[in-house]
């Protein structure tokens, strides 16, 4: 497996990446990219020249996962979005490799901070299904992972939980925010 700039000229890679986005999010975030058209739109958006898009591919060029980022605060703060690994290939270090390569690419563009929001619409953490107001930060400090929400994957890559938007996806369905400083 290698990480490469997304092969935007390759129609097979585009179809594979879009299909993978839909299937990777289907279980816990079914509304995110419900069909191929929605996923293709997201992918084309990520391939805009001011953004970053990388793919993990196998020896046959098959897309195993992909990741995107866009500048959000000038060129210093970048938002990671989206990240998806083929469900059949999760747990092999592909997500970790994609994040590491993206960080390198963002740094090369002048990025200082990489951040992301990760929704919890499915009771995956202790922040879902409860009223986080008024003591939002207390809930945040005692966050627990109940169903392998990916916030813990990001923590393993050095990201810190920096915030939560209560009810972002409806009452009791928050968006959890993480960030990492890219330079020392
Ligand atoms: C989250 C995701 C990108 C992780 O990719 P992956 O290739 O399976 O992860 P890796 O194999 O690189 O795992 C790296 C480490 O994170 C851990 N990890 C991976 N997913 C995890 C999860 N959901 N919860 C807790 N830990 C997780 C692994 O156990 C591994 O730990 P280790 O370093 O102690 O061995 C992938 O599971 C995925 O695409 N999920 C569906 C979509 C999604 O959640 N995207 C991110 C939304 S913001």
Question: Ligand 1 in contact with 118 (CB < 6 A)?
Answer: yes
Among the candidates 89, 104, 121, a domain finishes at 89
Q: Per-residue confidence at 142, pLDDT binned at 50, 70, 90?
A: very high
**DSSP assignment of 15-32:** HHHHHHHHHHHHTT-TTT
Instruction: Specify the pTM.
Output: 0.97
Residue 43 has pLDDT above 90, yes or no: yes
Task: Let me know how long the chain is.
Answer: 184
Q: What pLDDT score was predicted for residue 161? A: 98
Question: Ligand 1 in contact with 93 (CB < 6 A)?
Answer: yes
Using only the alpha carbons of the chain, give its radius of gyration: 16
Count of domains observed in the chain = 2
- Asked whether the beta carbons of 55 and 69 are under 8 A apart, the reply is no
Q: What is the rounded average pLDDT for all residues in the chain?
A: 97
Which domain, by its residues, includes 163? 112-184
Supply 25's token pair.
């999010």
Q: Clarify whether residues 18 and 50 are in a common domain.
A: yes
- Asked whether the beta carbons of 113 and 182 are under 8 A apart, the reply is yes
Question: Ligand 1 in contact with 23 (CB < 6 A)?
Answer: no
For residue 103, is it within any domain? Answer: no
Task: Report the alpha-carbon distance of residue 29 to residue 6 in Å, rounded.
Answer: 24
Query: What is the average per-residue pLDDT within 88-111?
Result: 98
Among the candidates 55, 74, 89, a domain finishes at 89
- Asked whether the beta carbons of 161 and 180 are under 8 A apart, the reply is no
Q: Clarify whether residues 83 and 122 are in a common domain.
A: no
Q: What pLDDT score was predicted for residue 49? A: 95
Cis status of the peptide bond prior to 134, with omega within 30 of 0: yes
Q: Name 11's Cβ contacts closer than 8 Å, sequence gap at least 6.
A: none
Q: What pLDDT score was predicted for residue 184? A: 87
Q: What pLDDT score was predicted for residue 25? A: 97
Task: Report the alpha-carbon distance of residue 158 to residue 68 in Å, rounded.
Answer: 18
Query: What is the average per-residue pLDDT within 145-169?
Result: 98
Supply 132's token pair.
């986080």
Question: Ligand 1 in contact with 95 (CB < 6 A)?
Answer: yes
For ligand 1, the distance from its centroid to the CA atom of residue 56, given in whole angstroms, is: 14
Q: Which atom of ligand 1 is least distant from the CA of 85?
A: 39
For residue 101, is it within any domain? Answer: no
Q: Which CATH number goes with the domain that contains 125?
A: 3.40.630.30
């Amino acid at each position: 497996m290698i990480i490469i700039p997304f092969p935007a000229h390759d129609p097979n890679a585009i179809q594979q990446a879009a299909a993978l986005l839909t299937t990777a999010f289907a279980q816990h975030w079914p509304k995110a990219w419900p069909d191929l058209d929605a996923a293709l739109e997201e992918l084309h958006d990520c391939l805009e020249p001011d953004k970053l898009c990388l793919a993990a591919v196998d020896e046959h060029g098959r897309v195993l996962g992909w990741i995107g980022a866009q500048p959000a605060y000038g060129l210093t703060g970048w938002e990671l979005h989206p990240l998806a690994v083929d469900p059949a290939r999760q747990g092999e270090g592909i997500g970790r490799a994609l994040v590491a390569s993206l960080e390198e690419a963002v740094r090369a563009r002048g990025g200082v901070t990489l951040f992301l929001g990760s929704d919890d619409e499915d009771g995956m953490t202790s922040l879902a299904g409860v009223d986080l107001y008024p003591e939002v930060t207390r809930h945040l400090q005692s966050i627990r992972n109940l169903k392998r929400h990916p916030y813990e994957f990001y923590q393993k890559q050095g990201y810190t939980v920096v915030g939560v938007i209560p009810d972002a996806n409806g009452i009791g369905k928050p968006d959890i925010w993480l960030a990492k400083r890219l330079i020392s």
